[in-house]
Structure 1
Amino acid sequence: MSWLEKRRQEVLEVLPTLKNPSFAKIDYSDWGLNMAEVAPFSATPVVADDASQTIIQVDGHLQKNVLPKELLAAGVIVCDWQEALNKHSDLLAEYFMTKASDPKENQLLAEHFLNLQGGLFIYVPKNVRLKKPLTVTFYQHSAEYVHHLLIVAGQNSEFTYFENRKSLGEKKACANIIEEVVALTNSKVKFIAVDRLAKQTTAYLKRISTVGRDAEVDWALGCLNDGNVVNDFDSDLKGIGAQGISKVIAITTDSQKQGVETKVTNYGQNTYARIFQHGVLLGESGLVFNGIGHILNGAHGSDSQQENRVLMLSDHARGDANPILLIDDNEVNAGHAASVGQVDEEQLYYLMSRGYSRKDAQRLVVRAFLGPVIDELPLPEFRAELSELVERKVYDGQYK
């Protein structure tokens, strides 16, 4: 029996006892996210090439992979899930849902493990530093989409990863997506993602990192989906001196619902955690931000700070910002800030007195509100792209 078959059997044995994960004020009980059995990915359409992208994957099919020769020579691995199982099974056995996540933790993780259709594996070896970002576009086409990303950053490695997630077609779809980052000693990973799943796609999207000694994983995430999505983001700071920073923006429009729970857990001593979440609501939409900072007993000298802010552009929208601090050690520093409110009418009036229409004035206010998060993105081209996408989503939301 292979390691994968053995683990599948273990997960199947505990599956009847598992429940879906729960998140404060995020009710997704009637969204239909559970999938008992899923067929393999079928034939996928060919999408137009994008010269700016290193990797393009439609469902499980790797349509483009143009890794530079010098990276291949350095031992960098980028491959689809089937190739990873065939050629790099030892690495998957060591890192796939073993270090960062556990399929026996809850029902959605178990179903993901059992029904996994495909994904992407990225391995950056020890001491390798990438000068240019890895740019990836994932397209969801299948009506049932169970997709996994596993990134392993070797000791002293350093790189930036930039991801776009999109949908193809107009059929109703359900997605279970898990993305894991395993950052070994003294590695540094900047993970940037812009999610634009379609209105007809309902999804559970989990991103989780486990961060080793003196390592760093910085998340910059744009939740610009049009459908109902549970966004579950975790950073586990395991090693001494580990650092985890999560910057999240979210925009909801029409009648969609998004829940965002971002959690950073300080395990090791002298670990550093930051959460910045800013969200904007239009129409009759709903958005919940949960920010959780947990400093465990023994994590002396650690620091955990968070900020959660929600801005509503509609009287019919419903937003929540819930900061939660769990402190199990005395020799630490921790704090939080939160706000939920309507757009400032005086600000709008001032801008309108300068010749802007009300909708244009609202977009300027949104830009200023999200700016502190967007401006922290590491590269100007990423900041420009995200700013443009934010502008487009707010504009579309205003005219629905």
Structure 2
Amino acid sequence: MSQTFDVNPGIIQEFSQSKNEPSWMTAVREDAFNRLNTIEMPKPDKTKLDKWNFHSVKHTVIDSDTYASVEALPASVKQVLDIESIDNLYVQHNNTPALLKVSPELEAQGVIIKDIHTAMAEHSELVQQYFMTEAVKVDEHRLTALHAALMNGGLFIYVPKNVVIESPIQMVTLHDNADVNLFNHVLIVADESSEVTYVENYISTIAEAKAQLNLISEVIASNNAKITYGTVDFLCKGLTGHVIRRGVAAQDAVIDWALGLMNDGDTINDNTTYLMGDNSSSDLKIVVVGRGEQKLNFTTQIIQYGKNSQGHILKHGVMKDAASSIFNGIGYIKHGATKADAQQESRVLMLSEKSRGDANPILLIDEDDVTAGHAASAGRVDPLQLFYLMSRGISKQEAERLVIHGFLAPVVNVLPIEAVKRQLTEVIEQKVMGNI
């Protein structure tokens, strides 16, 4: 059952109260909504958003299925889980919290893993301290304000000081209703000298929707903490997307990203890591596949304030049909970040005459005693590689398949859950290999 309403302050207040959110969150929502008309839209490089579906927003209330156990989950969710070893899992069905599994050992250590609304109700002060205060600000632009006003799902993770979580925490969002807007907010906080690996999957089981995707993830790593963040996004055509994933790393902290961005809708992606502390580091790996008439814009940046900080970016994309992409990679070393190291590589393969990929490496350096470098390319599959493989009896299509798999392997291989690796490999096969 679903109901759709025009968005207004009364609807926002009613929704917030229905989720038992604290008064501060209700106030954040109302203030963000009231300021929408005074805040400008984002201005992604070389991409005009005038005709993108960010302007017509409805509030849809969905009663989606919940599940009593991992065994009861639908097959589309089970296929991205390592069933026998999954200890910590959150499943969201459209906007409904559908299943939460947390190991008793973690709970005994003070680890918090809860859907975002429950976390706000039960750990109000802790969530308030970090919710859109450091990594992302409510008033950055109209879409961040819209997210704050209409946030309708997501997850909160808090890892206490000195706690090292051995098994990954996994979140799966199952999208199977064409009217559902996904405004998920993921907030991960790792306290001093803690460690956590988080993997998320976004899955559509319908072919097309007409809705908005407005996701924000905030990743906060305190002194000497380490956060590894992996994702496979595979949502359907017609979900117009604005996705922000950002990290803030303190002294000696590490934030590593492995992102498989496979959505079929037009999408703006902003992935930024702030290396605030000395000796902090971030390794960012992204693979993208575009098809049909998709328009994709990716801004990935590591901004380095800390001395001896290290920021490495690797982005590989494959465009087919009439898909187009813009890859802006930014390494920014701020004044005072002596001995910092900023490296990046952006490469795009185009598989058809109408596809397009722009790879734009940018280095901004305000300090002298640093190391920095970049590489970028956009072009067709290397004919010499194809010739080498075909000379050994491999067909052209299979040779292209092997080349593309090798091209995307740097991200596939570092995803920390075997089932998620398999999912990404299968998605690549589906999007690219089946019809080169």
In the alignment, does 2:53 pair up with 1:32?
Answer: yes
Helix, strand or coil at the partner of 2:183: strand
Determine the structure 1 residue equivalent to 2:200: 163
Shift of 1:5: 4.0
In the alignment, does 2:80 pair up with 1:59?
Answer: no
1:276-301 per-position Cα deviation (integer Å, ceiling 9, x unaligned): 00111111111211101111112122
> Residues 62 and 95 of structure 2 are in contact (CA less than 8 Å); yes or no, is this contact kept in structure 1?
no
- Do the aligned partners of residues 123 and 60 (structure 1) sit closer, same or farther apart at CA in structure 2, a change above 3 Å counting? farther
> Residues 275 and 307 of structure 1 are in contact (CA less than 8 Å); yes or no, is this contact kept in structure 2?
yes
In the alignment, does 2:164 pair up with 1:129?
Answer: yes
Helix, strand or coil at the partner of 1:160: strand
- Do the aligned partners of residues 13 and 63 (structure 1) sit closer, same or farther apart at CA in structure 2, a change above 3 Å counting? closer
Helix, strand or coil at the partner of 2:192: coil
- Do the aligned partners of residues 40 and 93 (structure 1) sit closer, same or farther apart at CA in structure 2, a change above 3 Å counting? farther
Determine the structure 2 residue equivalent to 1:338: 376
Determine the C-alpha separation between the residues in 2 that align with 1:326 and 1:10. Answer: 35
Shift of 1:347: 2.5
Instruction: Choose 295-304 or 168-177, whichever is displaced more.
Output: 168-177
* Gap regions ≥5 residues in structure 1: none
In the alignment, does 2:55 pair up with 1:18?
Answer: no
Determine the structure 1 residue equivalent to 2:347: 309
Helix, strand or coil at the partner of 2:62: coil
Shift of 1:397: 4.5
Shift of 1:8: 4.0
1:351-370 map, 5 Å: 351-370=389-408
Helix, strand or coil at the partner of 2:139: coil
Determine the structure 2 residue equivalent to 1:69: 104
Determine the structure 1 residue equivalent to 2:297: 259
1:42-68 per-position Cα deviation (integer Å, ceiling 9, x unaligned): 212455163635221113322111111
1:86 aligned residue (110, 114, 121):
121
Q: Aligned partner of 1:42: which letter?
A: I
Determine the C-alpha separation between the residues in 2 that align with 1:146 and 1:378. Answer: 25
1:228-270 per-position Cα deviation (integer Å, ceiling 9, x unaligned): 1111111011111111111000011122122111011002222
Determine the C-alpha separation between the residues in 2 that align with 1:378 and 1:81. Answer: 24
Determine the C-alpha separation between the residues in 1 that align with 2:54 and 2:405. Answer: 33
Helix, strand or coil at the partner of 1:369: helix
Shift of 1:106: 1.0
TM-score, reference length from structure 1 = 0.93
1:41 aligned residue (52, 56, 61):
61
- Do the aligned partners of residues 12 and 281 (structure 1) sit closer, same or farther apart at CA in structure 2, a change above 3 Å counting? closer
1:111 aligned residue (146, 161, 164):
146
Determine the C-alpha separation between the residues in 1 that align with 2:61 and 2:395. Answer: 47
> Residues 256 and 282 of structure 2 are in contact (CA less than 8 Å); yes or no, is this contact kept in structure 1?
yes
Instruction: Choose 368-377 or 205-214, whichever is displaced more.
Output: 368-377
> Residues 65 and 98 of structure 2 are in contact (CA less than 8 Å); yes or no, is this contact kept in structure 1?
no
1:145 aligned residue (178, 182, 186):
182
Determine the C-alpha separation between the residues in 1 that align with 2:427 and 2:53. Answer: 28
Determine the C-alpha separation between the residues in 2 that align with 1:396 and 1:30. Answer: 31
1:323-353 per-position Cα deviation (integer Å, ceiling 9, x unaligned): 0111111121111110111112232233334
Determine the C-alpha separation between the residues in 1 that align with 2:260 and 2:54. Answer: 22
> Residues 18 and 104 of structure 1 are in contact (CA less than 8 Å); yes or no, is this contact kept in structure 2?
yes
Q: Aligned partner of 1:143: which letter?
A: V
- Do the aligned partners of residues 380 and 42 (structure 1) sit closer, same or farther apart at CA in structure 2, a change above 3 Å counting? closer
Instruction: Choose 346-355 or 235-244, whichever is displaced more.
Output: 346-355
TM-score, reference length from structure 2 = 0.86
Determine the C-alpha separation between the residues in 1 that align with 2:335 and 2:300. Answer: 20
